[in-house]
Structure formats: structure tokens, C-alpha cells
Chains A and B, each alone.
Chain A
Amino acid sequence: MQLDRTTTAVTLVCVLGGSALLAVSNLLYPATSVLHVPDFVISLVGKYLCYAILALAVDLVWGYVGILTLGHAAFFALGGYAMGMYLMREIGARGVYANPTLPDFMIFIGWNKLPWYWYGFDHFLFALAMVVLVPGVLAGLFGWFAFRSRVSGVYLSIITQALTYALLLAFFRNDMGFGGNNGMTDFKDILGFPLNRESTSAGLMLITAAVLSSAFLLARAITHSRFGRVLVAVRDAEARTRFLGYRPESYKLVVWVVSAVIAGIGGALYVPQVGIINPSEFAPGNSIEAVIWVAVGGRGTLAGAILGAIIVNLGKTWLTNALPEIWLFAFGGLFILVTLFLPRGIIGLFAARPAIRGAPEAESSAAESAAREVAG
């Protein structure tokens, strides 16, 4: 418990303090000063923090309920699209075609009327509600179907992947009304603050850090509650938990929806900071990448998810610049090395006791060998 409190405190201090320091040195020191942090670092860190939010969401379901999601980037992207729609409407008549209601890409494909599902996105609060509702409702529907019929394990992973793949294909279509292939970009400002101003970037980064910290505390509260203990029980022995009188599907569904909403909020913060949202965010590879962040940091530790997201992305930024040829080798190797030699991730190296208690491996291998006996 002591160690857990320490990691929590360290995580919060690092996330909040670190981003505050960066923001201060970016804004207060002139560009000539040694202490000045360049603007690109701010937007980069803001991006990493968004990824950390996604990683946290993945860890909540994978680390604590054992649902290996290969489609969480879909919720991230949906939140991003909701925010992108608001930013698009915020452009107003400043687009290339100077149309006050229609975004440029709609004029480009010859539409003359705003589709009904774009109504309301000119209000920031409505967009915020959608950021929460769209991923939440989709996750709710998906989870309700999936958990009720007891789809689990690898099958669940594959259909989450199919989900994000289907969304990827759908959003590539121009007539969906979400910008098709190119997505949405060229945003001007958010709530009146111009996006290209450094104070806006710093502010967004600080907000992201605050949201990440809140999500971290929320996830921690969930996992440390009585509810969270049932989640771990479901992860380690679903059938046994069911026989004890719990309904695993309800527990899974609740935490699945919460996780999807957290991912959606992460996506919503991501879009104004990178300035673009397009269908490639739905690519199945992105979701799997998020899983590996969690695996590197340490599955089922929450703090590890944040750490993993930041470390892997730092490495990615550095390697794709320095040695672009090597990056995929290194990234692929990371998957293999972490699963083979570092099953508890980086946090696991420091933790005295196993971060994942019980013996999930033993259980799943027993189930697996049972399945293999039956198969064939």
C-alpha cells in the first residue's frame, strides 16, 4: 500500500509539476534564454499526455478486467472527431470558400446543406457532451452485446479490432460527411483562443495534464474500491466469480464504458493540439500500439500505463527522426522483448511484489490446454 501511494504521488507530481514547469519556461522566458522551452516541445508533450490518457483507458480494461482491447483507438478517434467538428464549425466564414455554415470539405464535394448530425456542434458544451456520449454509447452497445453473450479472450480482441477497422473504412467515405480521406484540419481557434498562439498550446497542455491526473485518480479510485476487487476477480477467474453470485458482464460493461469515455476525452484533447483528425486514427495498428505502451510501462498499474505511453512515444519521436529505417525493427522488437522478458513492464522492475497478483498465466494456460485438448 505504501509503494502504491508513493507511485501515485510521484505520478501526479511528475505529470502536473512537469507540465507546469514546461509551460512556465515556455511562456515566461524569451526565446533566447537557455531556460526557454521551444514551442514544439510543448505541443509534443501535450500529444504524449493525450496518448497517456488513452493508455490509462486501455490499462483500466486490460490490466484490471483482462479485456485485451485492440480497438480503443476507435473511441479515442471518435472523441477526436466530435471535437474536430466543433473546431470546424468554429472556423466559420474564415474557410477557403468563406461559407459561414458549411465546412470547406462539404462545399468541395458539392453539398449545400449541413447534415443533421452536424447540428449543435457550433456550441462548445454540446461538443463536449458528444465527446463523452458518442464513445460511451458505442462502447455501451458493443459491450452489452459482447459481454452478455460471453464473448471473451481472443475472440473479443478480434471483434474489437473488427470494430475499429469497420469505423476506419466508414470514415474514409466522403459521403459520411466527416471529411473522408483528408479528415478535418485547418482549425483556427478554440473558444476564441487562436490555436497557433503559444499560450493556447501551453494552456491546452496544462488542461491535458489536469485531465490525465483526474482520469488517473478516477481509475485508481475505481480499481481500489470494492468494485475494483470484483473486476480483478473477473480477470483472474471469471467463471468462479460468476459462481460466487456476481454478474461479470455488468462489471465489465461499466468499466468498459468508463474506459471508452476516458479514451474519447483523450482524443478530444488530442485534436486541437495536433491540428488534424483523419480516419487513419482508426487504424487497427494504433490500438495495438496503445496496448504495447501499457505492456512496456506495466500492465495493471495505471502509473505504468502513463509511463509507458510517454517513454515509447519519446523513443518513437527520437528514432523516427534519427534512424527511420530502424524504428519499426525497434518497435517490433519491443513487442517481442516485453512479452517474453518483461511481462510486468518497467514498473514491475521496481515493484517488490508482483503488480498482477494471483496467477493469471496459470489460469489462462490451464484453460488454454483444456481448449487444446478439446480442439481438433
Chain B
Amino acid sequence: MTRIQHGPRKSWRRSLYGPRCVLLAAVLVAVPALADAARAAHDSFANIAASTFDLEAQGVRELAVSGSPRAAAVIDALRDRRLFAWKWPRPDTPLYIRIDTGFVDARTGNPVAAPNRVNLRQVIVNDSVRSAIDTAEGALGLFSSNVATRRKAADAIFQTADAGALPLIERALAKESDAEVGRVLREARAAALLKSNTGSTSERLSAVGEVAARADLSARSLLASLQGQTPQVAAAIGAAVHDIDRRLQLWALAENVYYGLSLGAVLLLAATGLAITFGVMGVINMAHGEMVMIGAYTTFVVQRLITASAPAIDDFGVLVAVPAAFLVAGALGVVIERTLIRFLYGRPLETLLATWGLSLILQQAVRSIFGPTNQDVSSPPWMSGSIALGGLTLTVNRLWIILFAGLVLAALMATLRWGGLGRSIRAVTQNRRMAAAMGIRTPWIDALTFGLGSGIAGMAGVALSQIDNVSPNLGQNYIIDSFLVVVLGGVGNLWGTLFAAMSLGVVDKFVEPFEGAVLAKIVVLAFLILFIQRRPQGLFPLKGRAAEA
């Protein structure tokens, strides 16, 4: 407890000699001598209403570590501008908190008779006081009954590494029951010790070890910022920084792979449908992106309907949207095939133009119905947040999308391999006439195949609605990428599509840190242009007579 007065005493001296604070010094000198702890608390209460922001910020800090039961209420009041002080110098520096029914005494919390407003001034704050308030509220959080709050507060204390917080940390450590929070607190203690330039060499060495064990960026920057250490400690710090750097690099590598895979999953979702319509049927569907967009809008509509009719299952609206988007986009795909595509079989370039026109119409239709602005699709709670895995932070929605992309691909492969429709699709693509002779209605299979590809695009839209803006242009951003994935993977080869999507995603994310996102995209595109020229049939070419394809 003795250390607590370290701050106030210093300020006392400064205010005595500081020419600006003569008035305040007079007030402080006039304060009657009290017991040590009480005086500390009293001084910080007085400082909070001081006439300079520096003193005021200091008062906030002192109050936070004073252990006063009124600290939280007073600091809250200060933040909310409900704290009032006496306008004129007065030895007892009264402080009031305005509440709905009147005023309470800030020190005791007892209601007081409303003072005359003429005598009051509101205590105002500036940025430095505000940041002191933030720290103070963090420190107060150390004694919260909620483990997560304590953990957060301990982290914040570690970040500030304020030597003045040491006694506070000690007190919190003595009370702490949770091992995880205790660990962070010990790290914070080590950090504060290192910052304070006190302690013996062996104490400081063990503190370096404790901080280094965190092995994250904040530990690194803390260690790297320490100056003027004894050679032994400096060497330990150097080694620790080096070690952290190496570990961070490894984590960054892993993180890049994860980001790459999640981008790859998005590409895979967008391209899987295309792998059916383009890869299997050979139809260049430039409106494929719009099928994705319609899937996203279906999600929006389904969420609205559920919120309106069955709020109980609100959180699972996205799950309902998956089959709905499949059906809507699939049905639209069947209609498009019957009314447009079937007249253009064997004319790929004309198909390209007609479907481009179709994509313009679909975009404008959606724009006319829903308006040009982004629609708000909400993420359910079970899809938000993140998971910390070692030094990695994995966002949950990306994890779901990777999982979903895998599921969609697996389901599609299973359908093509074992399903009745899949068998017919394979029969028709392998030998149309023979399939017709065996009684398969080939035109109907064409329509269903196109519907299947479109439906998968619709399901991709559900996933994309969780990570991208739902606007009429949504599909445009994915169409070129999707084609590149299908072409890279080799037409008509789903494993190739998977491999191509994942490698494109990972390559993109690995180029990004060096060159920026846009240039990464350009590098990937340039690579693909060169690649297609080397291997026009993709990574996994089909064997056969496709010399002219």
C-alpha cells in the first residue's frame, strides 16, 4: 500500500513548484493531514476535479488503483459528464455526481441537497483524460466477478505495462483464482517490472522469460522497446526477440495458408457450379455470377420471412436459405436452359454473348426489385466470432465456409457418382446418342444438369452473403475468377477444380503481403495467362480426342 502514494507525492511536489498550479497547491496544502490511505484516496478525488488535464488524468489513474469502492462510480460519472465540482476554491473540494433524482456526494455516494447550480462546474475531459479513463476502467475490470472481463482487463494492463500498476497487479494476483487470468497477470507484472527499470538482474531475467513466453507481437514490441539494460539482460532480450520473430513467422505462414484456403473455398464454391455447366456441358454461362447473386438475395428474403413469421428459428435462417437458394437458382437455371441455352448448343461464342446479355437483365431485374444498395444479411451468432488456435485467430464464418465448400463438393461428387441423375448426366456427356437409345430423355437431362450447376451457384451465394456485400453486382466479382479456376483445373474435372481453387487462393494470399492485394491479383492473372498458354487443357487434362477444344 505504501507504493500507492508514490504518484500523489510526486504530483504534490510538482504542483508546489509548478507556476500554473499555485491555486491548486494552496488547496492541497490546506487539506488536513489524514491517515495515509485516506489521504491518497482523497487526493485523487481532488485531482479528478483539478484545473489541468494532466492532474485530472493522474487523478483518474490514482483513483483506479486506490481500491476505493467509489472509484468505478466516479470514473463512470466523469466519462458520462455527470461529475460536478465546486466552481470556487474550497479546501474540502466537494464533488457531486448528478443522477436522475438530484445529486449524490462523489466520495460517499450519499444523496445531498441540490447545491446551487451557480456554484457548480462540470468536470470536462480531453483525449489524455479519456485514455486514462479507458485504462482505469480496464484496471477496475481486474476485480470483476466475470472471468472474461478480468482476462480482458489483464490483457489491457499488460499492453500498457505501467509501473504504477504493479501494486494493483499484486493485489489482483493474490485474489485471482482462474489460472489463465493469473498467467496473464504474471506476464503483466513482468512487463511492468521490466518497464519500471527496478528489480535485480535475476528478477529482470525471469521477467524477460515470462514475457517472451507469450511469443506474440505485443510481447515482441515491449521487449524491443526496452533501452539501457545491463549486458546480461540485454542479451536475454535480444535472444527472446529473435525467438519470438521466428515463431511469429511460422504463425504468419500458417495464417497465410488459412487465409489462402478460405479464399480458395470461396473460389471453389463459386466455381463448382461452373465446373458443371462449363466443365461438363461445355456451356459458357456468363450469367453464372448472377446465379450466385440470386442465391445471396434468396438468403436475404428467407431471413426476412423467418424474422417476420418464425423469430424462434431466426438463428438458423441461413440453414433454411441453403436449400431455398438451391431451388430458386436451380429452377431459374432450368428455365434458362429451356428458353435460351438449348438453341445455342454447339455455338460457344454465341452462348457467351447471349448469357452475358442475360446477366445484364438479371442484374437490372434485381436492382429494380430490391434497389441498387447493399442488402443487410445478418450472420447468426454461431457463425460469428473467432477461435484462437495458438498464435492463429480463425474467424468462425470462414471456417464454416471452408466446411460448406467441402460439403457441397462432396455432395456433388456423390451425386454424379452414385445418384440416378448423376448417372444420366454422365451417360449423356459420354455418349449422347447411346444414352438416348437407352431411353434417357437427353434434353431433359441437359436442363437438369444446367439447373444443378445453377443451383450450386445459388448455394455459393448463401455462403458469400455472409462475407461479401449483397448487391446486384455481387456475381460480377466472381465470374472471371470462377472461369479461371475451372480452366486451370481442367475442364470436366472436379478434383482439378478443387486443387485449382485452393492453389489460386493460397498463391494469392502469399503474394499479397509482398505486393498488396491488387497486385497479387494481377500476378495471379498474369501467371494464369501464361499457364493457360503452356497447358491449354488445364492442370489435369482429359485424355482423348480433344485436340481442338
Contact = CB atoms under 8 A, between A and B. Distances in A.
Partners in one complex: yes
Interface of A: 68, 70, 142, 145-146, 148-155, 157-159, 161-163, 165-166, 169-170, 172-173, 238-239, 284, 288, 291-292, 295, 325, 328-329, 331-336, 338-340, 343, 361, 364-376
Given A173-B518, A369-B346, A374-B542, A153 B549 contact: yes
Given A161-B480, A339-B353, A373 B282 contact: no
Contact of A376 (B430, B487, B545): B430
Contacts of A372: 281-282, 429, 432
A361 B345 CA distance: 10
B360 A371 contact: no
B546 A375 contact: yes
B346 A335 contact: no
A192 to B, nearest CB: 38
Per CB-CB distance, the 10 closest pairs between chain A and chain B, nearest first, are A335-B357, A365-B346, A376-B429, A332-B360, A328-B364, A332-B361, A374-B544, A166-B525, A332-B357, A368-B346
Contact of A371 (B354, B426, B484, B548): B548
Given A154-B352, A169-B525, A334-B357, 15 more contacts: A148-B533, A151-B532, A153-B548, A155-B532, A162-B484, A162-B525, A162-B528, A163-B529, A170-B518, A332-B359, A336-B361, A339-B351, A371-B546, A373-B431, A374-B546
Contacts of B360: 328-329, 331-332, 335
Nearest to A162: B525
Contacts of A361: 346-347
Nearest to A360: B347
Interface residues of B, number: 62
A222 to B, nearest CB: 22
A249 to B, nearest CB: 12
A141 to B, nearest CB: 10
Contact of A155 (B346, B367, B430, B487): B487
Contacts of B365: 329
B183 interface: no
A157 B351 CA distance: 12
Consensus secondary structure, chain A interface: helix
Given A295-B353, A328-B361, A361-B347, A166 B282 contact: no
B178 interface: no
Given A149-B536, A153-B549, A374-B545, A165 B525 contact: yes
Contacts of B549: 153, 155, 367, 371, 374
Most buried by A among B349, B516, B544, B547: B349
A336 B354 contact: yes
Contact of B340 (A239, A340, A376): A340
Interface in B454-504: 480, 483-484, 487, 491-492
B226 interface: no
Given A161-B480, A173-B518, A336-B358, A373 B432 contact: yes
Contacts of A173: 516, 518-519
Contact of B368 (A152, A325, A370): A325
Given A284-B480, A340-B354, A373-B431, A368 B361 contact: no
A68 B548 contact: no
Interface string B370-392: 00000000000000000000000
B319 interface: no
20 contacts: A68-B349, A142-B529, A155-B532, A155-B549, A161-B483, A166-B522, A166-B526, A169-B518, A170-B519, A172-B518, A288-B353, A328-B367, A331-B357, A332-B359, A336-B358, A364-B346, A365-B347, A368-B346, A373-B432, A375-B542
Contacts of B418: none
A339 B354 contact: yes
Contacts of A329: 360-361, 364-365
Nearest to A238: B548
Given A149-B534, A340-B340, A158 B484 contact: yes
A335 B542 contact: no
Contacts of A288: 353, 356
B350 interface: yes
Contacts of A152: 548
A238 B546 CA distance: 14
B368 A333 contact: no
A333 B339 CA distance: 13
B284 interface: yes
A323 to B, nearest CB: 12
B530 interface: yes
A255 to B, nearest CB: 17
A239 B545 CA distance: 14
Contacts of A340: 340, 343-344, 354
Given A170-B522, A239-B548, A371-B549, A162 B480 contact: yes
A299 B456 CA distance: 35
Nearest to A166: B525
B340 A169 contact: no
A371 B353 contact: no
Nearest to B534: A149
B348 A368 contact: yes
A371 B547 CA distance: 9
Contact of A159 (B351, B367, B529): B529
A301 to B, nearest CB: 17
A172 B519 CA distance: 10
A153 B346 CA distance: 12
B506 interface: no
A273 B318 CA distance: 51
B344 A339 contact: yes
Nearest to A150: B536
B195 interface: no
Contacts of B284: 154, 157
Given A149-B534, A371-B546, A157 B352 contact: yes
